């Protein structure tokens, strides 16, 4: 299989499903893998089991794994598999400072205020489908895991993407995550907050296309 035929596999963020990336997938071909807490209202297993379920969906490869927010930690745990050709991490979590019940709500609110509120019904519909129980369980399973330490063993290219208005993935944390990967690079999207996959599909599509070495058309 040639580099130009790399399959793009996208995992939604906490509580989200395929609807969160619909605009992106109109711009670049990608398959969505739903996991417990990320589109599926099912009991959430440990992080390494989530990574194994993701890898089971890859087929023969090669594949570019794209994670968003909480799913970046699952992608990082799966990224040492030989079928993974590159990794894109959109607004990666979890900054250790965000584990505090005092810090996290404040950072979440500051980020939410910078989002495009027109997307709120779409996000809430996805959270409703996944359910608070699965979302809480996913947070508990993934938040303590150090994504930066996981990435130290990832030898394929890793692109870290953050919006300049994102307070859940602040600039110093994005730099730390990027620096942890031997072949990491950082891309910032001006004016974006945390939901880059939905609010800035053109910019994200260009990053994914670059990682996959594909020509990506831009839809209207």
Domain of 58, CATH number, reads 3.40.50.1820
Looking at the domain assignment, is residue 115 inside a domain?
yes
Positive or negative torsion for Cα 75, 77, 100, 89 = negative
**Alpha-carbon gap, residue 15 to 219, rounded angstroms:** 26
Asked whether residue 78 is assigned to any structural domain, the reply reads: yes
Within-domain flag for 219: no
Domain carrying residue 197: 3-212
pLDDT in tens, the chain (220 residues): 444 468 899 999 999 999 999 999 999 999 999 999 999 999 999 999 999 999 999 988 799 999 999 999 999 999 999 999 999 999 998 888 876 655 565 555 555 556 676 778 888 899 899 999 999 999 899 989 999 999 999 999 999 999 999 888 999 999 999 999 999 999 999 999 988 998 999 999 999 999 987 433 333 3
Task: Say how far apart CA 180 and CA 175 lie, in whole Å.
Answer: 9
Task: Please report whether residue 220 resides in a domain.
Answer: no
* Number of domains the chain is built from: 1
What span, in angstroms and rounded, lies between the C-alpha atoms of 151 and 124?
31
């Amino acid at each position: 299989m040639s580099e130009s035929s790399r399959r793009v596999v996208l995992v939604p963020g906490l509580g989200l499903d395929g609807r969160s990336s619909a605009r992106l997938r109109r711009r670049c071909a990608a398959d969505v893998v739903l996991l417990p807490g990320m589109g599926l209202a099912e009991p959430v297993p440990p992080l390494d089991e989530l990574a194994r379920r993701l890898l089971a969906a890859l087929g023969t490869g090669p594949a570019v794994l794209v994670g968003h927010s909480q799913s970046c930690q699952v992608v990082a745990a799966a990224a040492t598999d030989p079928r993974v050709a590159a990794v894109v991490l959109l607004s990666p979590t979890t900054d250790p400072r965000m584990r505090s019940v005092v810090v996290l709500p404040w950072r979440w609110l500051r980020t939410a205020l910078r989002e495009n509120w027109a997307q709120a019904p779409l996000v809430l519909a996805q959270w409703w489908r996944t359910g608070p129980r699965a979302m809480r369980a996913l947070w508990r399973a993934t938040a303590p895991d150090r994504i930066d330490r996981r990435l130290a063993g990832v030898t394929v290219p890793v692109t870290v993407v953050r919006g300049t208005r994102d307070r859940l993935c602040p600039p110093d944390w994005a730099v730390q995550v990027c620096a942890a990967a031997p072949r990491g690079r950082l891309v910032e999207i001006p004016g974006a907050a945390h939901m880059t996959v939905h609010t800035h599909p053109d910019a994200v599509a260009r990053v994914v296309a670059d990682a996959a070495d594909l020509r990506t058309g831009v839809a209207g």
